[in-house]
Amino acid sequence: MVYVSEAYELRRTRANMEKGTLNIEFAISIDKGAICLPAQLILVTHSSWFLTMDKLDKGLVKIMRNKATGTVAIFERNEFYACYDNDAIFIANNVFCSEVGLRRCRIDETELMYHVLNNAQYLRVIHDAILVQNYRVEVYAASDGQWELKAKGSLGCLNDFEEIIGDSAELYELTTVAALTVTEGHDSTECLVSIVSCSVREMQFTIAEFLDNKHFVNLEKCLTALVPRECLLVSNEMGISSVSLSGENNSQLNTALKKAGIRKELFQFNEELSILLSDQIAQMIDPKYKDIHISRAQRSCFVALIQHLHLNGGGTKSGKFQLRNYKSAGYMYLNSAAVKALELFSVYQEDEDLLDNAGSLYKLLNKCRTPQGQRLLREWVRRPLHDTRRINERLDVVEAFVSNPSCRARLHDDILRRIPDITAITRKLMQKKAGLQECYRLYQIICLLKRFHQILDELHASCGSLAPSVNDLCLEPLVLAQLQFQKFMALIESTVDITYFKENGLYRILPNIDENLLTTAERMYEIETSCNTLLKKVCSELTETVKLENNEHYGFHFRVTLKAEKSIRQSGLHILETSKGSGVRFTCDHLNVLNHEYQKLSSHYESVQSSFIDMVVETCSGYISTFCELSETIAIIDTLVALSMLASGSFCYVRPQILDEDKQVLELRKCRHPVMEANPNSPQFISNDVVLGSEQGDGAMFLMLTGANMGGKSTYLRCCALSILLAQMGSFVPCESARIGSCDYQCKGVSTFMAEMNDCASILESATCHSLIIVDELGRGTSTYDGFGLAWAIAEDIVSRVKCFCIYATHYHELAGLGRVYPKQLKNVCTASQVDENGQLILLYKIISGVAGRSFGLNVGKMIGLPDNVLQTASDMLERLEAGDSKLNLEEEKLYRMILSSADDELRQQILVNLMSEDDESMCSI
């Protein structure tokens, strides 16, 4: 194929045609439109010219017409790659953000845009199309005059692009795919959700089945924990998903998936497909999980995942997948809105555009040294505990590392940084892509366990009452692993030539296990000795320092610095390469002879040892599940060491006191925002106390927070929420002291992000007396009186019925009147501020008892530089409103008075009526 772009002169151009096309040499000269070309080529003369193409390119057009819209097709053409039509436009606009590379060509009567890619651009397109844009990618190569599919991949199935995409903690979340079905429950108010999640990179299926309400609260909690990038909604003629795919339930399900940021796709299930694939389900799962029950609905999800991800029950994946049950008991309820609002992994603007992850909680905590540790840390942040025993167990180990800086430093600075990604290596073993290098790397990990053991033994002996937790979480699993890998160690030491690797950096089978290998190795050693002898001879003839090197391209050769080039040429030696970086590479006739023989012997050695390598790799594959368990243990140690690094840093962190569930106490003294105070560009953070409840049961459970705009109300809420989250994931907290009652916290997004009123309904329905609810500026999205009425009604329902911890930040200062109705249960607090003699607002960012009289909106406007005429107009309007010149809308006033005067039962009914009719409010619960 030849592409001719607009030009005024092209001289002596050779068109390297692909197989099946002409190979010609031609000249083009242009003079006022006069064109001279061979007769075989047709030139279209306008802004871009087009040339006819061969039958290979007719197949290209067919592929482009038949491929799915969510697939990017890339065509391999000798030394470059190309994309066509919409794919070319897509990568120009979304990958390179420039249309400079776009060109036009014609195939018969079809005109196409195309974009040529060099190797680096090809790798970038693969990476961005799959990871960033979530597209499928197919790569085609020419064979026997037609295009054949060479490689394909998507987020859920990266097999062909493993090496291009690489590994990261986030990638394991991005490549997780789930399938779910929804069937009718025991009554009309609930449904049964069955879900299966598959992480191909971790070789793991997770199954779950639970009852849920019409708001799909439990499903959202499950999806937040599993973090699938894509969800298959499985439906069939038997009724599976009939609930979710119709009417109001369909809308609620779509809302749950949208809030979690999950792309959905419908999957039509049929019984014939289930019968064909049912055996593959059993073949793929490790036999040790055979006793775990899989329901019929879950099997339909398995079938959907197997077909969608192109998983094969036999071959490389046979019996390698782990199967685990999803457990919600013992974990904090944390949904996707809270993950975003608390900026756990990324920082967002109010319009929810992603800014950065530099200011996220995960970025602050992530001092992990291993990839598996980073993945586990993400899971711990997403799924904090509320089991007191497990929380204290983690805190014990963190405290032990904090109190023993020597053990902590040796693990963090030396041992852990030597641990590779065990999951990635075992995945290569499973896919039959591993060699001696991967086996030896696993051997090196086992060798490091001895040093692990010594350090943890020292920690265990020095930590006193914390020793049982150190033993159970860290030491005992490592001791068990050492025992399980004794035969593995013996296998590697008896088959892999470790000495040869240390001397040459190359992996090979020990020669003494086979007579043919031994003979070949001895002769190779003799040649190496002869080469070294020859080196001494060359050194005696030249005045410069000469090195003997052996690489894949040249084999054995000599190398000197560039300044010796002249003397090398004069001596009659053969120069192989000259460059500024590597100097002069040269050889001689005798070395060429030795090198030639050595290459033959090396090839023979490779062919003989290949069968032994296959045997070693196959044997190592039997340890995959054991290595996965070891990876989990190392990840736990790495994560706990990372948390101890944070706790022992320059900022004051303390161990929280986790109280029993029956003690409703939340006491955070001098609480700070962990991320904001760590920002070097931020001013000194002003700490505040958070006190709710008491051990005697007579303390206020509800804080009504008012104050000036920009006075720190939202920051106060986040400080409290993040401290509780850190405590319940097993970390020290940024306070001077902390006492927290173990709670099953319900967590929704902080309202700055405008969660829907459906969240209010699900909060009021699922919150218990052991919950903490956080509300930020509820009622901003509707009229003043509607918003005030709803805010009052919801606050009163929480105080009188739910009776749980609640911090309620509001711009409706009149809500402080609830304190007169519930003086023991509710406490009014506000942000402190002052106005100087010039009318300038001074924000103190302290939380004090009392009620704020004003929001100081005009003062804030003056601070940020609003025009004087705008401020004057606003001031005049405020005076008129305060003087009563503005009349209330009669219907709004009637509704407002009705809500305030309602009895409890009527109030709750009114809440439900309003919740069903409002869509624009925001609320969060934690």
The confidence score (pLDDT) of residue 359 equals 80
If one compares 907 and 112, the residue with the highest pLDDT of the two is 112
Q: pLDDT tens digit string along 771-829?
A: 888 888 776 666 677 778 888 888 898 999 988 899 999 888 888 889 889 988 999 99
Identify which of 679, 725, 656, 642 has the alpha carbon closest to the alpha carbon of residue 365: 642
Identify which of 228, 325, 232, 322 has the alpha carbon closest to the alpha carbon of residue 284: 322
Write the CATH number for 186: 3.30.420.110
Residues 286 and 418 reside in one and the same domain: no
Residue 344 lies in a domain: no
**DSSP assignment letter at 294:** -
Which of 132-146, 182-196, 338-352, 673-687 has maximum average pLDDT?
673-687
Q: pLDDT tens digit string along 613-658?
A: 999 999 999 899 899 999 999 999 999 999 999 999 999 999 999 9
Q: pLDDT tens digit string along 64-85?
A: 888 888 899 999 987 889 999 8
Residues 213 and 300 reside in one and the same domain: yes
The residue-averaged pLDDT of 702-727 equals: 90
pLDDT band at 322 (very low <50, low <70, confident <90, very high): confident
Q: pLDDT tens digit string along 213-263?
A: 877 888 888 888 888 888 888 885 444 444 444 455 667 777 777 766 677
Residues 409 and 443 reside in one and the same domain: yes
Question: What 3-state class would DSSP assign to 122?
Answer: helix
Residues 284 and 212 reside in one and the same domain: yes
Residues 295 and 401 reside in one and the same domain: no
The confidence score (pLDDT) of residue 315 equals 56
Write the CATH number for 93: 3.40.1170.10
Count of structural domains within the chain:
5
Say which residues have a Cβ less than 8 Å from residue 28's Cβ, sequence separation at least 6. Answer: 4, 9, 10, 11, 13, 35, 36, 37
CB 1 within 8 A of CB 60: no
Which of 20-24, 148-152, 571-575, 604-608 has maximum average pLDDT?
604-608
Residue 826 lies in a domain: yes
Which of 553-557, 841-845, 891-895 has maximum average pLDDT?
553-557
The confidence score (pLDDT) of residue 321 equals 84
Write the CATH number for 526: 1.10.1420.10
Q: What is the distance between the alpha carbons of residues 483 and 450, in angstroms, rounded to a whole number? A: 11
The confidence score (pLDDT) of residue 640 equals 98
pLDDT band at 600 (very low <50, low <70, confident <90, very high): very high
The total of other beta-carbon atoms located within 10 Å of residue 154's CB is 23
Question: What 3-state class would DSSP assign to 84?
Answer: strand
Q: pLDDT tens digit string along 388-440?
A: 999 999 999 999 999 999 999 999 999 999 999 999 899 888 888 899 999 99
Residue 1 has pLDDT above 90, yes or no: no
Write the CATH number for 789: 3.40.50.300
Residues 117 and 96 reside in one and the same domain: yes
Identify which of 709, 903, 677, 653 has the alpha carbon closest to the alpha carbon of residue 797: 903
Q: Average model confidence (pLDDT) for the chain? A: 80
Residues 908 and 801 reside in one and the same domain: yes
CB 346 within 8 A of CB 357: yes
Residues 686 and 804 reside in one and the same domain: yes
The total of other beta-carbon atoms located within 10 Å of residue 652's CB is 15
Residues 308 and 419 reside in one and the same domain: no
Residue 113 lies in a domain: yes
Extract the tokens encoding 517.
């290998």
pTM, two decimal places = 0.78
Residue 86 has pLDDT above 80, yes or no: yes
The confidence score (pLDDT) of residue 41 equals 38
The confidence score (pLDDT) of residue 557 equals 92
Residue 818 lies in a domain: yes
pLDDT band at 354 (very low <50, low <70, confident <90, very high): very low
HSE of 101, CA atoms in CB hemisphere, 13 A: 23
DSSP sequence for 822-876: STTTEEEEEEEEEE-TTS-EEEEEEEEES--S---HHHHHHHTT--HHHHHHHHH
Per-residue CA distances from 201 to 169, 175, 611 (Å): 11, 7, 28
The confidence score (pLDDT) of residue 375 equals 92
The confidence score (pLDDT) of residue 923 equals 39
Q: pLDDT tens digit string along 37-46?
A: 333 333 333 3
**DSSP assignment letter at 684:** P
The gap between the terminal CA atoms of the chain, to the nearest Å, is 62
Residue 563 has pLDDT above 60, yes or no: yes
Residues 149 and 234 reside in one and the same domain: no
Residue 884 lies in a domain: no
Residue 382 lies in a domain: no
Report which residue type is found at 379. Answer: E
Residue 854 lies in a domain: no
Report residue 497: phi and psi, to 5°. -80, 85
Q: Which domain holds residue 697?
A: 657-831+892-917
Picking from 153, 183, 205, the residue at the C-terminal end of a domain is 153
Residue 84 lies in a domain: yes
Q: pLDDT tens digit string along 186-226?
A: 777 788 899 999 987 788 899 999 888 877 888 888 888 88
CB 415 within 8 A of CB 452: yes
The two beta strands, 702-706 and 805-809, are parallel
CB 853 within 8 A of CB 813: yes
Picking from 313, 328, 343, the residue at the C-terminal end of a domain is 328
If one compares 161 and 665, the residue with the highest pLDDT of the two is 665
Q: pLDDT tens digit string along 283-308?
A: 888 888 888 888 888 888 888 888 88
The confidence score (pLDDT) of residue 655 equals 97
- Site of tokens 């419908």: 266
How much of the chain exceeds pLDDT 90, in percent?
Answer: 36
The confidence score (pLDDT) of residue 29 equals 35
Residues 222 and 313 reside in one and the same domain: yes
Picking from 308, 328, 348, the residue at the C-terminal end of a domain is 328
CB 635 within 8 A of CB 445: no
pLDDT band at 133 (very low <50, low <70, confident <90, very high): confident
**DSSP assignment letter at 278:** H
The confidence score (pLDDT) of residue 75 equals 92
Residues 818 and 769 reside in one and the same domain: yes
